[in-house]
């Protein structure tokens, strides 16, 4: 089994790597990092230094592999060092918006384009991206977080559309948008104050839940938007 995990140096990404290595001892895991390689090695794990927003780097990663069974994209951002998600219209900033869309939405497009031919060779291909419940349009009651919400809603639309193309081209595959729940990582760290302790998950727990969902997904589930507990989220 060949598993590619993008954004594998992040809180959820690294936990996903460790979970698949434990659950599938014969799998080879190809994991990408962006800035710093994590200090975690395993004989079945290969690290690749990749900026997943750059098409030539995504293409080069694909060219190093002959076939892929699962692709899991864990890349994402909510804030930078000096900018947080917008509370209101006054906080909107064009450069921040473009940065968030580039990191949260574009990578899945590039990965789908360059990895669908490799995934097609698998007997049970899976293309899973970590999305977020706040990308749901019909579930939006609080407002705010304009860039993040828009980037995840666009990501969701892309994944749904990809699942329709896969019905023709990769009929035995499944495309999934997954919500991890609020997870204790650098991404959520500044926003954890009002989260009840039982609703703040460890990356390890989230990885167990999400890998379990990816494993049990079938082609009939393709195009689903699922929370960590398997519940169906509204678009």
Ligand X SMILES: NC(=O)c1ccc[n+]([C@@H]2O[C@H](COP(=O)([O-])OP(=O)(O)OC[C@H]3O[C@@H](n4cnc5c(N)ncnc54)[C@H](OP(=O)(O)O)[C@@H]3O)[C@@H](O)[C@H]2O)c1
| Binding stretches for ligand X (CB under 6 A) | 7, 9-13, 34-35, 51-53, 74-77, 103, 130, 132, 180, 182-183, 185-188
CB nearer to ligand X: pick between 100 and 122? 100
Q: Smallest distance from the beta carbon of 221 to ligand X, in angstroms? A: 20
Placement of tokens 């190809």 in the chain: 30
Q: Smallest distance from the beta carbon of 148 to ligand X, in angstroms? A: 7
CB nearer to ligand X: pick between 72 and 122? 72
Q: Smallest distance from the beta carbon of 78 to ligand X, in angstroms? A: 6
Classify strands 174-179 and 126-130 as parallel, antiparallel or unpaired. Answer: parallel
Q: Smallest distance from the beta carbon of 64 to ligand X, in angstroms? A: 16
Q: How far apart are CA 33 and CA 29, in angstroms?
A: 13
CB nearer to ligand X: pick between 10 and 223? 10
The residues near 130 (Cβ < 8 Å, ≥ 6 apart) are 7, 12, 72, 73, 74, 76, 178, 179, 180, 210
CB nearer to ligand X: pick between 149 and 163? 149
Q: Smallest distance from the beta carbon of 59 to ligand X, in angstroms? A: 14
Q: How far apart are CA 208 and CA 228, in angstroms?
A: 9
CB nearer to ligand X: pick between 51 and 221? 51
Q: How far apart are CA 81 and CA 75, in angstroms?
A: 17
Q: Which two tokens stand for residue 202?
A: 């460890």
Burial 41-76 (b: 16+ CB within 10 A, else e): eeeebebbebebbeeebbeebbeeeeebbbbbbbbb
CB nearer to ligand X: pick between 122 and 182? 182
Q: Smallest distance from the beta carbon of 130 to ligand X, in angstroms? A: 4
Q: How far apart are CA 197 and CA 180, in angstroms?
A: 15
Tell me, what DSSP letter sits at residue 197? G
In the three-class reduction of DSSP (H, G, I as helix; E, B as strand; rest coil), residue 110 is classed as helix
């Amino acid at each position: 089994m060949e598993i590619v995990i993008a954004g594998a140096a992040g809180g959820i990404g690294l936990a996903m790597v460790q979970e698949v290595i434990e659950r599938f001892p014969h799998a080879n895991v190809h994991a990408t990092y962006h800035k710093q390689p994590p200090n975690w090695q395993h004989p079945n794990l290969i690290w690749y230094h990749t900026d997943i927003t750059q098409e030539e780097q995504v293409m080069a990663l694909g060219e190093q592999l002959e076939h892929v069974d699962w692709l899991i994209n864990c890349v994402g951002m909510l804030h930078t060092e000096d900018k947080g998600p917008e509370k209101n219209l006054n906080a909107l900033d064009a450069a921040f918006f473009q940065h968030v869309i580039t990191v949260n939405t574009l990578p899945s497009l590039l990965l789908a384009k360059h990895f669908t031919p490799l995934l097609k060779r698998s007997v049970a291909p899976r293309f899973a991206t970590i999305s977020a419940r706040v990308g749901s349009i019909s579930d939006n009651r609080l407002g705010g977080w304009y860039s993040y919400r828009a980037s995840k809603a666009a990501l969701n639309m892309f994944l749904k559309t990809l699942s329709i193309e896969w019905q023709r081209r990769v009929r035995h595959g499944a495309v999934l948008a997954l919500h991890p729940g609020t997870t204790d990582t650098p991404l959520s760290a500044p926003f954890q104050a009002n989260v009840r302790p039982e609703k703040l998950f460890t990356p390890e727990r989230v990885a167990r839940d999400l890998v379990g969902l990816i494993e049990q997904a079938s082609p009939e589930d393709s195009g689903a938007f699922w929370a960590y507990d398997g519940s169906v989220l509204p678009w």
